[in-house]
Amino acid sequence: MFIIRHTALKEAQGLCYGHSEMALAETFAAESQRIVDRCSEIFDVVFSSPLQRCTQLAGQLPAREIRTDDRLKEVYFGSWEGKVWNDIPRTELDPWMDDFVDVAPPAGESLRQLYTRVNEFLNELRNVPHQRVALVTHAGVVRCVWAALLGIPLQNIFKIQVSYGQIQAFELGPEPAFDRWLSSVVS
């Protein structure tokens, strides 16, 4: 299983975005071509977040089938979506920063909720008969995959560097005890 983070965004610096649609950087064509070059074999299926920063890349990959799945969306920041991080009131931000695993932004979801939906997706994927699968998704989802497959505590997942266009390869076993990380490539 290959997990690919979407390519660079145009104007995301300092913005709180999760489910918000964001424009891709002008470098999309070159970035996506580098990713396609590294994924030369045809995927049986590519699962993608339905957000266009992922579906545009998924559409470039050599695949027999492309499916979107809401469980591959980034964490939902609720009323913070689209705001500049520095403009979020400290009275809202501090409780979340003190316990980002279990505290959700107002009307949003917590990291644990994101992890639960990602883990549910992975457990269903174990029963899919495809041999060569790719996921095109977001940094938070990629980190939750690491946590689910390798037993990394959620409070430590932000120590995992996930770059735009980065490709992670995992072997998904018949049950979690047999999962393993294979490689990582930054395109």
Q: What is the pLDDT along the chain (187 residues), one digit of tens a residue?
A: 999 999 999 988 999 999 999 999 999 999 999 999 998 789 999 999 999 999 999 999 999 999 999 999 999 999 999 999 999 999 999 999 999 999 999 999 999 999 999 999 999 998 888 889 999 999 999 999 999 988 899 999 999 999 999 999 888 777 666 666 666 666 5
> What per-residue string of b and e applies to 38-63 under the rule 16 or more CB within 10 Å gives b?
ebeeebebbbbbebebbbbbbebbeb
Closest alpha carbon to 74 in 9, 134, 21: 21
The pTM of this model reads 0.93
